[in-house]
Chain A
Amino acid sequence: MGANSGSVFDRSRRRRSLGLSAAAILAALATAGTVWPAQAASLKVAIVADALTLDPIASSDNPSIWTELLIFDQLVRPSKSGTELEPGLAEKWTVSPGGLEYTFTLRDAKFANGEPVTADDVLYSLQRAAGEKSDWARFFKPITKYTVLDAKTIKFNLDKPFTPLLNNLAMFSASILPKKEVEAKGEDFFQAPFGSGPFTVKSWSHGEKIVLAKNPNYWQAGKPAVDEAEIQVIAEDNSRVLKLKAGEVDAIVGIPFNQVSQLKSDPELNVGVANVFRIELVQLNTTKKPFDDERVRQALNYAVDKDALVKGVLRGNGQAAATALPIMAYHNEDLKPYPHDVEKAKALLKAAGYENGFKASMLVQAGDVTYRQVASALQSNLKDIGVDLQLQGIESSSQFSTTKSGNFEMSLSYASSDTIDPDQIIGFTSINPERANAFHTQWKDERVNALYDQERRTLDGPERGAMFKEMETRVHDGAPFIFLYHQGMPYASRKNVEGFAVLPTSNYRLEDVVVK
Chain B
Amino acid sequence: MVLLKFTAGRLLQLIPVLFVITLIAFLLLRVLPGDPATLILGSRGTPEDIARLTTQLGLDRPLWQQYLGFLGDMLRGSFGQSIAYRTAVGPLILERLWATLALVGLSTVFAVAMTVPFALMAALHKGGVVDHVIKVFFVMMMSMPAFWLGVLLVLLLSIAFPIFPVSGFGEGVMDRLYHLFLPSFIIALGTAALTIRSLRSSLIDVLKADYIDTALAKGLRSRRVLLAHVLRNSLISTISVLGVHTSWVIGGTVVIESVFAIPGLGYLLLSSISARDYPMVQGLTVTFAVLVVTINLITDIAYAVADPRVKLS
Contact = CB atoms under 8 A, between A and B. Distances in A.
B39 A400 contact: yes
Contacts of B120: 14
Given A32-B178, A37-B175, A401 B33 contact: yes
Interface string A134-145: 011110000000
Contacts of A434: 46
Nearest to A415: B43
A428 B33 contact: no
Interface string A42-80: 000000010011010010100000000000000000000
Contact of A36 (B123, B167, B178): B178
B208 A401 contact: no
B39 A397 contact: yes
A239 B275 contact: no
A42 to B, nearest CB: 13
B143 interface: no
Nearest to B264: A207
A235 B226 CA distance: 46
A436 B171 CA distance: 46
A236 B178 CA distance: 20
Interface string A84-99: 0000000000000000
Interface in A198-250: 205-208, 232-236, 238-239, 242-243, 245-246, 248
B84 A52 contact: yes
Contacts of B261: 208, 232-236, 239, 243
Nearest to B270: A235
Interface in A1-35: 1-3, 5-6, 8-11, 13-14, 18, 21, 29-30, 32-33
Given A3-B207, A9-B124, A52 B42 contact: no
B46 A5 contact: no
A238 B147 CA distance: 10
Contacts of A32: 174, 177-178, 181
A435 B222 contact: no
Given A36-B175, A239-B167, A400-B34, A246 B43 contact: no
A402 interface: yes
B166 interface: yes
Interface string B148-161: 00110011001100
B96 A60 contact: no
Q: Most B CB atoms within 10 A — which of A138, A234, A239, A434?
A: A239
A239 B155 CA distance: 10
B139 interface: no
A359 interface: no
Contacts of A397: 32, 34, 39, 273-276
B124 A18 contact: no
Contacts of B252: none
A60 B42 contact: yes
B138 interface: no
Interface string B210-235: 10110010000011001000000000
Contacts of B162: 33, 246
Nearest to B35: A401
Given A206-B263, A235-B261, A397-B275, A52 B85 contact: yes
B43 to A, nearest CB: 5
A5 B49 contact: no
Contacts of B169: 205, 208
A418 to B, nearest CB: 7
Given A208-B169, A246-B166, A10 B39 contact: no
Interface in B163-215: 163-171, 174-175, 177-178, 181, 207-208, 210, 212-213
Q: Most A CB atoms within 10 A — which of B44, B123, B213, B222?
A: B44
B259 A396 contact: no
A38 interface: yes
B38 A5 contact: no
B96 A206 contact: yes
A130 B223 CA distance: 77
B147 A242 contact: no
B125 interface: yes
Given A33-B164, A242-B159, A400-B42, A6 B151 contact: no
A205 B263 contact: yes
Given A135-B49, A136-B44, A397-B34, A9 B226 contact: yes
A36 B213 CA distance: 50
Interface in A95-144: 133, 135-138
A236 B259 contact: yes
A463 interface: no
A372 interface: no
Contacts of B76: none
A398 interface: yes
Nearest to B125: A6
Contacts of B171: 38
A63 to B, nearest CB: 11
A35 to B, nearest CB: 8
Contacts of A205: 95, 169, 263
* Pairs A-B, 7 closest by C-beta atoms: A207-B263, A2-B208, A208-B263, A235-B258, A5-B124, A398-B33, A234-B261
17 contacts: A10-B223, A21-B117, A33-B164, A36-B170, A38-B175, A52-B86, A60-B44, A207-B263, A207-B264, A208-B263, A238-B147, A239-B261, A242-B158, A248-B167, A402-B33, A434-B46, A436-B43
Given A29-B163, A36-B175, A236-B259, 11 more contacts: A5-B125, A10-B223, A29-B181, A52-B84, A52-B86, A135-B49, A206-B92, A236-B167, A239-B167, A395-B274, A435-B44
